[in-house]
Protein backbone atom coordinates (compact mmCIF):
# COMPACT_ATOMS: atom_id res chain seq x y z
CA UNK A 1 0.00 0.00 0.00
CA UNK A 2 1.19 3.53 -0.71
CA UNK A 3 2.54 5.50 2.20
CA UNK A 4 1.64 9.12 2.94
CA UNK A 5 3.56 11.73 4.88
CA UNK A 6 5.14 10.73 8.20
CA UNK A 7 4.89 7.03 7.43
CA UNK A 8 1.15 6.63 7.91
CA UNK A 9 -1.07 4.95 5.40
CA UNK A 10 -3.23 7.02 3.07
CA UNK A 11 -6.41 5.69 4.69
CA UNK A 12 -5.18 6.78 8.13
CA UNK A 13 -4.37 10.23 6.78
CA UNK A 14 -7.90 10.52 5.39
CA UNK A 15 -9.34 9.64 8.80
CA UNK A 16 -7.12 12.23 10.47
CA UNK A 17 -7.55 15.14 8.06
CA UNK A 18 -10.97 14.34 6.55
CA UNK A 19 -13.21 15.88 9.24
CA UNK A 20 -11.13 19.07 9.39
CA UNK A 21 -11.13 19.31 5.61
CA UNK A 22 -14.91 18.95 5.36
CA UNK A 23 -15.54 21.43 8.20
CA UNK A 24 -13.12 24.00 6.77
CA UNK A 25 -14.77 23.78 3.33
CA UNK A 26 -18.18 24.26 4.96
CA UNK A 27 -16.95 27.31 6.90
CA UNK A 28 -15.33 28.80 3.80
CA UNK A 29 -18.39 28.30 1.61
CA UNK A 30 -20.71 29.69 4.28
CA UNK A 31 -18.79 32.70 5.60
CA UNK A 32 -16.01 33.73 3.20
CA UNK A 33 -17.36 35.97 0.43
CA UNK A 34 -14.35 38.17 -0.40
CA UNK A 35 -14.92 38.31 -4.14
CA UNK A 36 -11.38 37.11 -4.75
CA UNK A 37 -10.41 33.48 -5.22
CA UNK A 38 -6.94 34.08 -3.80
CA UNK A 39 -8.21 35.68 -0.60
CA UNK A 40 -10.83 33.00 -0.09
CA UNK A 41 -8.23 30.27 -0.66
CA UNK A 42 -5.84 31.81 1.88
CA UNK A 43 -8.68 32.14 4.40
CA UNK A 44 -9.70 28.52 3.78
CA UNK A 45 -6.10 27.31 4.20
CA UNK A 46 -5.79 29.24 7.47
CA UNK A 47 -9.07 27.78 8.70
CA UNK A 48 -7.91 24.27 7.78
CA UNK A 49 -4.62 24.81 9.61
CA UNK A 50 -6.33 26.11 12.74
CA UNK A 51 -8.72 23.15 12.76
CA UNK A 52 -5.83 20.68 12.41
CA UNK A 53 -3.98 22.27 15.33
CA UNK A 54 -7.16 22.28 17.42
CA UNK A 55 -7.83 18.64 16.57
CA UNK A 56 -4.31 17.63 17.59
CA UNK A 57 -4.68 19.53 20.85
CA UNK A 58 -7.96 17.85 21.70
CA UNK A 59 -6.60 14.43 20.82
CA UNK A 60 -3.51 15.06 22.96
CA UNK A 61 -5.74 15.93 25.92
CA UNK A 62 -7.86 12.81 25.43
CA UNK A 63 -4.93 10.46 24.97
CA UNK A 64 -4.36 8.28 28.06
CA UNK A 65 -1.11 8.99 29.85
CA UNK A 66 1.13 6.29 31.27
Residue 39 is predicted with a pLDDT of: 96
The full 3-state SS of the chain, as one line of letters, equals CCECHHHCEHHHHHHHHHHHHHHHHHHHHHHCCCCCHHHHHHHHHHHHHHHHHHHHHHHHHHCCCC
Residue 10 is predicted with a pLDDT of: 82
Could you read off the pLDDT of 1-58 as tens digits, one per residue?
454 555 668 888 888 899 999 999 999 999 999 999 999 999 999 999 999 999 999 9
Residue 63 is predicted with a pLDDT of: 87
Residue 1 is predicted with a pLDDT of: 45
Residue 8 is predicted with a pLDDT of: 67
Amino acid sequence: MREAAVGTKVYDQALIYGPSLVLSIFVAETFYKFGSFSLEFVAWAATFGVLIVAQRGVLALLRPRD
